[in-house]
Structure 1
Amino acid sequence: MEALAERLSHLDTHVQGAIRVVTFYDTLMRRRVDLPALARASAALAECVAGIRLHGTARAIRMAPDGREAPAPSAPASSTAPVVLDEEEIGSVWLERPGPPGPLDEVLLDRLAIAAAAVAERYGPARTTMADPALVELVVSPDCDEAARARALRLLGFAADLPLRVVALRSRVPLDRIGGLVCPARPVKAATLADVGVILATTVDADRFPADVRAGIGAADSPDRSWREARTALRFTTARRPVVHHDDLGALALLARIPEDAARDNADVAAIARIAGNPEDLETLDAYCATGSLRRAADCLHLHHSSVARRLEQIGRTLGIELTEPTGLLRARLALTAWRLLDD
């Protein structure tokens, strides 16, 4: 009987402690605190470092019991819990307690995770550029239902009533740097899907892309359609035209829908493929097609116009196209573009 009484006494103490923890977090949630304040209060309650990380952000919030940011490097987590919103894991919370977990750590982390999910739903994550690729993929996927897309946008920090531009790009420049340049004062998120970089932004300043970046910019209101347009525009980028707006393609965008076999079998495209082995000829043809003028092409190539004229005459014979005629120039432009799309 004495042993049972002792066990019930310990249980009662644990239950009372758990109730105090629940009440503590209920109070915090009524006060509508943000994530740093939530981590700070949790660290004070647990008397050890408490951390919060949302997948949509690039940093962890770690607070020490004295209310200050915990120093780096972080200690191993003594216990962790997932942050779940609408049945989706959106982050994690943890305690860095020296030694084994405390008797109320599980309850504390459970309430901390619930509170962190409520804060994320209310305010969205802290402003950072790099984002969880899974969330970005939900936003741009054509197979995602609108409720899940809206939830992913909210978790990324985008308000439902804000316009959204989608950019597809390839670059060796870090995506967070590019995002900060093209959208410096408004919400922007970036991630890599497969081998293509993605930037989601409320505005995009195309003139601020760094050199050596190839970028396609979508125009549709729907993120999934804008992503499709951005990828199409990316395929049309060249060294002379590294940034392409889908809207500017007009009817040229139809070339991206031509089956590859049909394009390869076209006589003009096959002729371009034959001269592609000579970089000098390809560069000359590209400059002429881009400018539409013999003299402007010569200026681009830093050559005398007579030299360019001789090259174009030879290229025209190889292609079987009279390049100086408007129809011939149009054929060459279309064939060169279609050939490039094959190599994309």
Structure 2
Amino acid sequence: MEALAERLSHLDAHVHGAIRVVAFYDTLMRRRVDLPALARASAGLAECVAGVRLHGTGRVIRFSPDGGDASASTASASSTAPITLDEEEIGTVWLERPGPPSPLDDVLLDRLAIAAAAVVERYGPARTTMADPALVELAISSDNDEAARARALRLLGFPADLPVHVVAVRSRLPLDRIGGLICPARPVKAAQLADVGVILATTVDPARFPPGVRAGIGAAESPDRSWREARTALRFTTSRQPVVHHAGLGALGLLAQVPKDIARDNADVAAIARIAENAEDLATLDAYCATGSLRRAADLLHLHHSSVARRLEQIAKTLGVELTEPTGLVRARLALTAWRLLDD
């Protein structure tokens, strides 16, 4: 390469400069630098601010020529180039030269774009929402140390300065579709682990889950704890409440810690099991527990309130509680929830 550059330098100074730019980026790629190091080196070479942005994550990396991080401020790009991987544009690189463009800016940006694509291909983030299950498991496992977890998240494409929420999902819909809906235009990855789908996302919009999806959303900042919370919240989902945020469970979350054999032997829970043998009675009790009102329960069930009242009278006898009293309603709600948790 150096011999070729020397011969070409006698022919054209521009060609000589272009060869040196190419050699510069070849060296960076051999050293397997990451995107911030690539942007920092480019800014030093161009002697102006250089930036990299990935469409899939929205992450902006921007450095000044002195090597300082300039991502907090913005300015107009003097020249840009697309980052292309597998014939798809995945991002943009640019220079912010205050004066007229340099004759070598196009060459520099072309090589920067090629190098950035190589970094993304090697380290992530991948363009697709679906991720390697092994990496996702590393990110959410409580058995790993923080260094291993941070590396897994980096390989999945999550910037260190963004929170990661974990969602546990059961659905027949593709996980990548669900992930794209609940976290549009932001970093999101998904994988299937055993019988539960896992979605890692920087933001989660509960209102955007499509019909037919059961989802539990973790609240903790640490991905491993958020995963435990998400699985717990998933256990509390019902057809009436298909999406549950762990933060909204409050003290109800304690029911998930009760051993199943103890819950099964409880008299109220055993009574719910008997009531569940009749689908109409179970639906009636569910509606009444959800509303706390006989008339509103009747509206949900599309029945006359007198019919619901007769059913509730029989249900109350089976439970051995007075459902019209606050204490009886609380007991019924807790027993119904505990009985549902037995199936998970």
TM-score by length of 2: 0.67
| C-alpha distance in 2 between matches for 1:186 and 1:145 | 26
Q: CA RMSD in A?
A: 2.7
- Equivalent residue number for residue 231 of structure 1: 231
Distance 1:132 1:23, change over 3 A: same
Residue 342 of structure 2 aligns to a residue in which SS? Answer: helix
Tell me the percent identity.
80
- Equivalent residue number for residue 27 of structure 2: 26
Distance 1:302 1:120, change over 3 A: same
Query: Could you list the per-position Cα deviations for residues 162-215 of structure 1 after superposition, in whole angstroms to 9, with x for gaps in the alignment?
Result: 011100010001100000000011000000111000000000000000001000
- Equivalent residue number for residue 130 of structure 2: 130
| C-alpha distance in 1 between matches for 2:124 and 2:174 | 24
Query: Are the aligned partners of 2:125 and 2:158 in contact in 1 as well (CA < 8 Å)?
Result: no
| C-alpha distance in 2 between matches for 1:132 and 1:31 | 21
- Equivalent residue number for residue 242 of structure 1: 242
- Give the stretch that moved more between structures: 299-308 or 22-31: 22-31
Query: Are the aligned partners of 2:32 and 2:119 in contact in 1 as well (CA < 8 Å)?
Result: no
- Equivalent residue number for residue 49 of structure 1: none
Q: Does 1:200 pair with 2:193?
A: no
Q: CA deviation at 1:123?
A: 6.2
Q: CA deviation at 1:276?
A: 0.9
Write the mapping of 1:291-330 to structure 2, written as runs, cut at 5 A: 291-330=291-330
Write the mapping of 1:90-239 to structure 2, written as runs, cut at 5 A: 119-120=119-120, 124-239=124-239
Query: Could you list the per-position Cα deviations for residues 65-104 of structure 1 after superposition, in whole angstroms to 9, with x for gaps in the alignment?
Result: xx9969xxxxxxxxxxxxxxxxxxxxxxxxxxxxxxxxxx
| C-alpha distance in 1 between matches for 2:25 and 2:169 | 47
Gaps of 5+ in 1: 1-21, 35-66, 71-114
Distance 1:27 1:134, change over 3 A: closer
Query: Are the aligned partners of 1:133 and 1:191 in contact in 2 as well (CA < 8 Å)?
Result: yes
TM superposition outliers: structure 1 runs of 4+ over 4 Å: 22-25, 27-34, 67-70, 115-118, 120-123
Write the mapping of 1:36-51 to structure 2, written as runs, cut at 5 A: none
Letter aligned with residue 149 of structure 1 = R
Residue 224 of structure 1 aligns to a residue in which SS? Answer: helix
Distance 1:292 1:343, change over 3 A: same
Query: Are the aligned partners of 2:126 and 2:157 in contact in 1 as well (CA < 8 Å)?
Result: yes
Matched pairs, number: 247
Letter aligned with residue 277 of structure 1 = E
| C-alpha distance in 2 between matches for 1:333 and 1:230 | 22
Query: Are the aligned partners of 1:121 and 1:155 in contact in 2 as well (CA < 8 Å)?
Result: no
Query: Could you list the per-position Cα deviations for residues 117-141 of structure 1 after superposition, in whole angstroms to 9, with x for gaps in the alignment?
Result: 9825996323320000000000000
Residue 296 of structure 1 aligns to a residue in which SS? Answer: helix
Letter aligned with residue 27 of structure 2 = D
| C-alpha distance in 2 between matches for 1:228 and 1:117 | 35
- Equivalent residue number for residue 341 of structure 2: 341
Gaps of 5+ in 2: 1-22, 36-83, 88-114
Letter aligned with residue 282 of structure 1 = L
Q: CA deviation at 1:152?
A: 0.5
Distance 1:24 1:166, change over 3 A: closer
- Equivalent residue number for residue 261 of structure 2: 261
Residue 343 of structure 1 aligns to a residue in which SS? Answer: coil
Distance 1:24 1:230, change over 3 A: closer
Distance 1:331 1:27, change over 3 A: closer
- Equivalent residue number for residue 278 of structure 1: 278
Distance 1:69 1:137, change over 3 A: closer
| C-alpha distance in 2 between matches for 1:68 and 1:336 | 52
TM-score by length of 1: 0.67
Query: Could you list the per-position Cα deviations for residues 5-55 of structure 1 after superposition, in whole angstroms to 9, with x for gaps in the alignment?
Result: xxxxxxxxxxxxxxxxx9995364479799xxxxxxxxxxxxxxxxxxxxx
Write the mapping of 1:70-109 to structure 2, written as runs, cut at 5 A: none
